[in-house]
Structure 1
Amino acid sequence: MEEHYYVSIDIGSSSVKTIVGEKFHNGINVIGTGQTYTSGIKNGLIDDFDVAKQAVKDTIKKASIASGIDIKEVFLKLPIIGTEVFDESNKIEFQEDTELDGTHVESVLEGIREKNDVPETEIINAFPIQFIVDGDNEVSDPKELIARHSLEVEAGVIAIQKSILINMIKCVEACGVDVLDVYSDAYNYGSILSATEKELGACVIDIGEDITQLAFYERGELVDGDAVEMAGRDITEDIAKGLNTSYETAEKIKHQYGHAFYDSASDQDVFSVDQVDRDEDAQFTQKDLADIVEARVEDIFFEVFDVLQALQLTKVNGGFVVTGGSSNLLGIKELLQDLVNEKVRVHTPSQMGIRKPEYSSAISTISSSITFDELLDYVTINNHDSEEFEEEVIESEDNSNTTKSSGFDWFKKRSNKSESKQPSDNDSVETRSDSDEGYDKHTEVDQDSESKPQQNDNQEDSKFKKLMKSLFE
């Protein structure tokens, strides 16, 4: 098999992440990664162009060194902020019998981009829901079929504000690489759900630094996505205020002692905190901290519930999947489980070197790239199977006696807790590692791999690339 590398860039509010990977056997093999923390991004968007550009350049360099790959072309993920999700269809017709291939699939999907009539927006993803050959033959993949008259596609569409798209691409390409394609997080999240979750109706909640993104899938397809401007930074600010300390100290305390579920936090785990208005340190327990953290995380979840209700998504039978950097907090799944009637799990990528929730978006961008490459015949990879789903699913407790909110079967009222929240003598202490893996080099990487082709030549001439270049003219 010819070596075929994919490079994804995730420009997040706290850091920029780059992953170099390849499709191999049962999933994605991560060859190298890079991560650079930055203050140039705010609410998922570029706040300081020069600072953000330097962070992108640094993380590409780190990933290049770690992987041994000379990175020239990348796939870029875009946030859900400023996006709209809707359905559209398009048809192409034939004058004679035609064997369908990837070029016909690409053509019918590109026609959807041309139908966009919303000012100052650009369609970035058009993902097929189903294809219709000759008006009545509904198929999931039309390649190698014979069409006598027409090929039609019914597709989901993601459009984004043109200014966001231009600025993101400009920032990355200013670092000396070409953006081959872009993928919205709303579409990317589909790759972290199991087939059952996507079919029944599942909600992904990505809690980052500045924003919390959510995407809802049902019957196997993306239904809608949105974002809430409340996330990890708000938790840290609450800690700083509640413990009378600096933001930097609060951030360290959050990672070391933070717990999002008061009932499970320990009153035996005591730590000292520098005070902003006096010399003496103050003593607090993990339970004291959890009282602060739980309140803010609960607010984040309620904001997500409000969005779901506004979208009239009344059933989440497939459960909730929490990911993103802030989902590292202990007790976060227990808190959400206490709020809803459905299954809850925290998603962490399984690949070596990126086993942290904050890498979910970056690795999902590679999954999206592979999906479209195979759909459009850009690559042919014969030695892989479907990636097995290995995530632990936390089952709901028996809620047969729980009173459900009218019309919203997934939501339940908080359990009654005493206002004083007296700690239990049996509270257990949970520990976890907060060490930063930085970037890793896969042990099997070929040191001469710089000479290997990174992407297929067909991609270099893709219509998307031409479209993106036209945005800057």
Structure 2
Amino acid sequence: MEEHYYVSVDIGSSSVKTIVGEKFHNGINVIGTGQTYTSGIKNGLIDDFDLAKQAVKDTIKKASIASGVDIKEVFLKLPIVATEVYDETNEIEFYEDTELSGTHIETVLEGIRDKNDVEETEVVDTFPIRFVVDGDNEVSDPKELIARHSLKVEAGVIAIQKSILVNLIKCVESCGVDVLDVYSDAYNYGSVLTPTEKELGAVVIDIGQDLTQIAFYERGELVDADSIEMAGRDITDDVAQGLNTSFDTAEKVKHQYGHAFYNSASDQDVFTVEQIDSDEDAQFTQKDLADIIEARVEEIFFNVFDILQELGLTKVNGGFVVTGGSANLLGVRELLQDMVNEKVRIHTPSQMGIRKPEFSSAISTISSSITFDELLDYVTISNHDNEEFEEEVIESEPKEHTEKSGGFDWFKKKPNKQAHEEHVETEQNAADEHVPEEEHHPNHENDQNSDQSHEKDESKFKKLLKSLFD
């Protein structure tokens, strides 16, 4: 990368986002962004190559103008589609005392790629869980230690369908930039969690336009990840059908008046909507709209629960973290909190200029890039050591644990709407006054670090490309 700039490209189902960031002692400073909406992406994958290419090209240009950086190399985010997560080990041997460096770490991690024997898949990320020096010395970072015999790594591995990888790379590189490396959202989501959440066991739920992606972390590491093809577009489709209006109108209504928790929606907030089969507009309340939205968002969460149950996860002690564009809807946190026993929060990036949940993947890709640069010693100063988690955690009032389903401690039976409406007199004030999700606007002041270097002779991804096209 040029100097100390990191550029990430997030090809999402509704838009392509690019972020230009700088690495500082207390995190990442965003110096430029670009976003272009497109219909060329479907379910996180290329649907129309020309439309997708134009969107990528436009958003890179926007980010370049905003940041003043001539963008030539980027880090690419990959969706959790046709993705497998598993563990693997690899070991390299030495025949004399050797001081370990980032090069040795890269070599032992790269060796895992050659062990992939699943046809039509490619290993895109290998992240170390622990290193073992000379057979019995377990360490988290072996750099500068002396190894007399061997260096072994126990690592998590993320593999994706090869055609998906090749087509996404081709689309980006056809815009005149080089893809320096790729990072799966499965790995990226680790940066949206606090250390405590990652240790106790937390679920990240990213509700986008076409996909809802799920990643579970425990004991500080990624355990598994998956996705479902149900998200924001399905919510809008339901609104369009329920209100008898067009998709575009439904999308606007959803963002302006939408609420995902029926019990907190207002029946005093009235709006009019153009009808498909009539010249006269129809009136609806926010509560009418919430009745439609809640049903679909609830279904999305139940699909997430099905995945967690298939993984055998009986406890989510670290809670649930919701992000992605659809997390902007009022009531999403309240609805999920009403369905589970653990805490729930909405994650919004703290950096100035990207304080929207839909930018979580793009900024997390930069975080992943920095993590590996530090591990492999591509930068000279470690600026992440003292980084504090600046996300505001929004929690509901403590609730008594109600009936559980199937032995899963995190799930609780959701009260039905009818029971709520029978007590409408006592709950009227709460229904009339909905409180929007809190936003976090921290002061994010950083001192520029001009001593960084970002020199790579040949990235692991350049090696990957050679193996793909040889």
Q: Map 1:322-337; keep pairs closer than 5 Å.
A: 322-337=322-337
Residue 134 to residue 234, structure 1, CA distance change in 2 (3 Å): same
Q: Is 2:394 aligned against 1:411?
A: no
TM-superposed deviation, 1:247 = 0.3
Post-superposition offset of 1:425: 3.2
**CA gap 1:443/1:137 in 2 versus in 1, 3 angstroms:** closer
In structure 1, distance between residues paired with 2:445 and 2:33: 13
Looking at structure 1, the residues matched to 376 and 361 of structure 2 have their Cα atoms a distance apart, in angstroms, of 23
Pick from 443, 446, 462: which aligns with 1:465? Answer: 462
Q: CA deviation at 1:18?
A: 0.2
Cα distance change, pair 39–208 in 1 and its aligned pair in 2 (3 A): same
Higher relative contact order (CA 8 A, sep 6+): 1
Per the TM alignment, residue 430 of structure 1 is displaced from its structure 2 partner at its CA by 4.2
Q: Is the Cα–Cα contact under 8 Å of residues 20 and 30 in structure 2 kept in the other structure?
A: yes
Paired amino acid for 2:465: M
| Whole-angstrom distance in 1 between the partners of 2:277 and 2:165 | 45
Displacement of 1:402 in angstroms is 1.2
1:238-288 CA-partner distances (Å, limit 9, x unpaired): 000000000000000000000000010001100000000000100000000
- Aligned partners of 2:78 and 2:435: how far apart in 1? 33
* Cα deviation digits, residues 329-360 of structure 1 (max 9, x gap): 00000000000000100000000000000000
**Contact residue 202 and residue 218 of structure 1 kept, 8 A:** yes
SS of match in other structure, 2:59: helix
Gaps of 5+ in 1: 434-441, 447-451
The equivalent residue for 1:456 is: 454
CA distance in 1, matches of 2:420, 2:318: 35
1:280 aligns with: 280
1 CA distance for matches of 2:42 and 2:419?
36
2:158 aligned with 1:149: no
Three-state SS of the structure 2 residue aligned to 1:131 is strand
String of CA shifts for 1:29-73, please: whole Å, max 9, x gaps.
001000000000000100000100000000000000000000000
Runs of 4+ in 1 over 6 A off after TM superposition: 442-446, 452-455
State whether residues 27 and 384 of structure 1, in contact with CA within 8 Å, keep that contact through their aligned partners in structure 2: yes
- Deviation at residue 385 of structure 1 after TM alignment: 4.4
1:418 Cα deviation after fit: 0.8
- Give the aligned residue type for 1:287: K
The AA in structure 2 aligned to 1:428 is D
- Could you report, residue by residue, the CA deviation over 1:308-341 in whole angstroms, capped at 9, with x for unpaired residues? 0011111100000000000000000000000000
- In structure 2, what is the equivalent of residue 428 of structure 1? 432
CA contact (8 A) 2:121 2:160 kept: yes
Q: Alignment RMSD, CA only?
A: 2.2
Cα shift at 1:389: 1.4
Separation in structure 1 between the aligned mates of residue 417 and residue 228 of structure 2, nearest angstrom: 27
Could you tell me which amino acid in structure 1 is paired with residue 41 of structure 2? I
Structure 2 unaligned residues grouped into runs of 5+: 438-443
Is the contact between residue 259 and residue 330 of structure 2 (CA under 8 Å) also seen in structure 1? yes
The whole-number CA distance in structure 1 between the counterparts of 2:371 and 2:336 is: 31
Which residue of the partner structure matches residue 440 of structure 2?
Answer: none
Q: 2: CA distance between counterparts of 1:116 and 1:201?
A: 28
Question: Aligned AA for 1:327?
Answer: A
Deviation at 1:421, TM superposition (A): 4.1
Question: 2:391: which partner in 1?
Answer: 391
What secondary structure does 1:405 align onto?
Answer: coil
Length, aligned pairs only: 458
The alpha-carbon distance between structure 1 residues 382 and 303, as it changes in their structure 2 partners (threshold 3 A), is closer
CA displacement at 1:461 relative to structure 2: 1.5
TM-score by length of 1: 0.93
1:70-219 mapped onto 2 (5 Å cutoff): 70-219=70-219
Q: Is the 8 A contact 1:235 1:293 kept in 2?
A: yes
Q: Which amino acid aligns with 1:184?
A: S
Using the TM superposition, give the Cα deviation of residue 383 of structure 1 relative to its aligned residue in structure 2, in angstroms. 5.4
CA deviation vs aligned residue, 1:175-223 (integer Å, no higher than 9, x gap): 0000010000000000000000000000000000001000000000000
Alpha-carbon distance change, 157 to 372 in structure 1, aligned in 2, over 3 angstroms: same
Letter in 1 for 2:167: N
